[in-house]
Amino acid sequence: MLKALFLTILTLALVKSQDTEETITYTQCTDGYEWDPVRQQCKDIDECDIVPDACKGGMKCVNHYGGYLCLPKTAQIIVNNEQPQQETPAAEGTSGATTGVVSASSVAASGVLPGGGFVASAAAAAGSEGQTSRNNFVIRRNPADPQRIPSNPSHRIQCAAGYEQSEHNVCQDIDECTAGTHNCRADQVCINLRGSFACQCLPGYQKRGEQCVDIDECTIPPYCHQRCVNTPGSFYCQCSPGFQLAANNYTCVDINECDASNQCAQQCYNILGSFICQCNQGYELSSDRLNCEDIDECRTSSYLCQYQCVNEPGKFSCVCPQGYQVLRSRTCQDINECETANQCREDEMCWNYHGGFRCYPRNPCQEPYILTPENRCVCPVSNAVCRELPQSIVYKYMSIRSDRSVPSDIFQIQATTIYANTINTFRIKSGNENGEFYLRQTSPVSAMLVLVKSLSGPREHIVDLEMMTVSSIGTFRTSSVLRLTIIVGPFSF
- Angle among Cα 150, 139, 81 to the nearest 5 degrees reads 50
Band of the pLDDT at 80, cuts 50, 70, 90?
A: very low
- Angle among Cα 321, 323, 326 to the nearest 5 degrees reads 60
Report which secondary-structure segment, H or E, holds 48: helix 47-50
Closest CA to 225 of 238, 216, 235: 238
How far is residue 106 from each of residues 31, 88, 111, 378, 386, measured CA to CA in Å? 7, 19, 10, 160, 167
Q: Region 411-422: what's the mean pLDDT?
A: 87
Q: Region 387-415: what's the mean pLDDT?
A: 94
231-254: pLDDT as tens digits: 999 999 999 999 999 999 999 999
pLDDT of residue 483: 96
Q: Region 145-167: what's the mean pLDDT?
A: 67
Q: Region 105-113: what's the mean pLDDT?
A: 34
Say whether pLDDT at 178 is over 70.
yes
pLDDT of residue 49: 85
189-221: pLDDT as tens digits: 999 999 899 999 999 999 888 889 999 989 887
Alpha-carbon distance 281 to 252, whole Å? 36
pLDDT of residue 340: 85
Say whether pLDDT at 332 is over 90.
yes
Within 10 Å of residue 342's Cβ, how many Cβ atoms? 15
For the chain, helix, strand, coil in percent to 5 are 10, 35, 50
Say whether pLDDT at 18 is over 70.
no
* Residue 301 CB partners (closer than 8 Å, separation 6+): none
Say whether pLDDT at 418 is over 50.
yes
Domain locations in the chain as residue ranges = 163-213, 217-254, 258-294, 297-334, 359-488
Alpha-carbon distance 316 to 330, whole Å? 10
254-276: pLDDT as tens digits: 999 998 789 999 999 999 999 99
Q: Region 322-343: what's the mean pLDDT?
A: 91
364-392: pLDDT as tens digits: 999 999 999 888 999 998 898 998 899 99
Does the domain formed by 359-488 have CATH 2.60.40.60?
yes
pLDDT of residue 139: 41
pLDDT of residue 1: 40
**DSSP 3-state of 238:** strand
Q: Region 338-349: what's the mean pLDDT?
A: 88
Q: Which residue has the higher pLDDT, 139 or 458?
A: 458
pLDDT of residue 220: 85
Band of the pLDDT at 78, cuts 50, 70, 90?
A: low
Q: What value does the CA radius of gyration of the chain take, rounded to a whole number of Å?
A: 66
Dmax over Cα atoms in the chain, in whole Å?
A: 207
For the domain made up of 217-254, give the CATH fold.
Laminin (2.10.25)
For the domain made up of 258-294, give the CATH fold.
Laminin (2.10.25)
pLDDT of residue 74: 78
pLDDT of residue 348: 93
pLDDT of residue 66: 83
What is the Cβ-side half-sphere exposure of residue 439, based on CA atoms within 13 angstroms?
A: 21
35-76: pLDDT as tens digits: 887 777 888 889 888 888 889 877 889 888 888 889 887 776
pLDDT of residue 76: 66
The CATH classification of domain 163-213, taken from the options 3.30.360.10, 3.20.20.70, 3.40.50.720, 2.10.25.10:
2.10.25.10
Q: Residue 65: is it exposed, middle or buried by C-beta count within 10 angstroms (0-12/13-18/19+)? A: buried
pLDDT of residue 54: 82
Give yes or no for a cis peptide into 407 (omega within 30° of 0). yes
- Position 314: which residue type? G
424-452: pLDDT as tens digits: 999 999 999 999 999 999 999 999 999 99
* Residue 374 CB partners (closer than 8 Å, separation 6+): none
pLDDT of residue 105: 34
Report which secondary-structure segment, H or E, holds 299: helix 297-300
Q: Residue 95: is it exposed, middle or buried by C-beta count within 10 angstroms (0-12/13-18/19+)? A: middle
Report which secondary-structure segment, H or E, holds 404: none
Does the domain formed by 297-334 have CATH 1.10.3470?
no
Residue 276, strand partner residues: 269
Q: Which residue has the higher pLDDT, 156 or 393?
A: 393
> Quick check: do 217-254 and 258-294 share a fold?
yes
